[in-house]
Amino acid sequence: MKKVATLAGSDATGGGGLEADLKTFQEFGTFGFAAITSIVILNPENGSHQLISLDLPLIQAQIASVFAGPIDAIKTGLLPSREIIELVSEKLPKQIPIVVDPVIGGKGTQDFIKNEQVQALREKLLPQALITTPNLREAGILSELGDLTSEKQMQQAAKKIALLGAKHVVIKGGARLDAKQTLDLHYDGRNFHTYPHPVIGTPYNHGAGCTFAAAITAAIAKGYPIKAAIKTAIDFVQAAITMGEQINPYVGHVWHGAYTHAEKRLEYPNDQR
Ligand code: PXL
């Protein structure tokens, strides 16, 4: 069985973060591991979020646990301080495919990380990435090009991010460029590939970004070629968004099991109830 690890934050509400990663790894039939860097909690009184970072020795010990045996692919998610980014980049094994989801902000939350940490992502982590998956906003920040408002600018940003060392850059266009059609742009260091698909009109898409990167990571572990991994991850997330649900008064999540219809698994037979 293929083993896939995430080094990421916990989203206590279960839509994003390592919860999304583990659910997605399972859907791909891989064995999921997780080292928790931080915990994002939601205040049920007013919908505000709080981020709590774990101490470095605790993160280090979890990373050591994860790598006590062989791992086939690794994803990084929320790494909310320069020290944590440095620790993770030091401890990442060198020969294993690494997917860096450069989490800077979250939906409905303040930015998790600020400029100083962004520099650490650029200098320490992106050089180790086989694939990085910024959204439009993160791509603008990482490339230092600011707001990206056209496909041409997405291409420029992808090239600049690739210069930092990431071998493949996938910029998630989301619905910001065009309300009807969304564009995911992939730069492989030489050529651009585009993956246009329709925008799904739902506000219940929390966790889509984490799920996308997790799906790519699991697919890579299973031996998919990179373009097939990206295409399958897009289809996986499209299905997850289509079945998104409101989870609490403040947020609606994607359903990670949609692509495989996991909600239909292990049902108790009606005639035996
Ligand atoms: O969507 C980015 C993200 C990543 N990681 C954690 C999160 C979120 C969004 O809320 O909670 C832990």
Q: DSSP character for 50?
A: E
Domain boundaries, the chain: 3-256
Q: What is the pLDDT of residue 248?
A: 96
DSSP string, 121-153: IIIIIGGG-SEE--BHHHHHHHTT-----SHHH
Query: pTM of the full predicted structure?
Result: 0.97
pLDDT recorded at residue 187: 98
pLDDT for the residue 175? 73
- Say if ligand 1 is within 6 A of residue 9 CB: yes
Spacing, Cα 65 to ligand 1 middle (Å): 23
Q: State which of 39, 112, 136, 241 you would mutate to test the pocket of ligand 1, scoring each by most atoms of that ligand within 8 A of its C-beta.
A: 112
Determine whether the shortest distance from the Cβ of 109 to ligand 1 is under 6 A. yes
- The answer to whether 30 and 4 are in contact (CB under 8 A) is yes
pLDDT the model gives residue 38: 97
User: Distance from the CA of 172 to the center of ligand 1, in angstroms?
Assistant: 16
Q: Give the pLDDT score at 107.
A: 63
Residues paired with residue 76 on neighbouring β-strands, in sequence order: 7, 100
Is the minimum distance from the CB of 214 to ligand 1 under 6 angstroms? no
Ligand 1 centre and the CA of 106: distance in Å? 5
Atom of ligand 1 minimally distant from the CA of 13: 11
**Six-digit token string for 114:** 């600020």
pLDDT at residue number 115: 84
Residue 157: what pLDDT?
98
pLDDT along the chain (273 residues), means of 10: 98 97 98 98 94 97 98 98 97 96 80 87 98 96 95 97 98 80 94 92 93 98 98 97 96 97 94 88
- Ligand 1 mean position to 109 CA, how many Å? 9
CA–CA separation, 110 vs 144, rounded Å?
A: 19
Q: Tell me the CATH number of domain 3-256, given options 3.40.605.10, 3.40.1190.20, 3.90.580.10, 1.20.59.20.
A: 3.40.1190.20
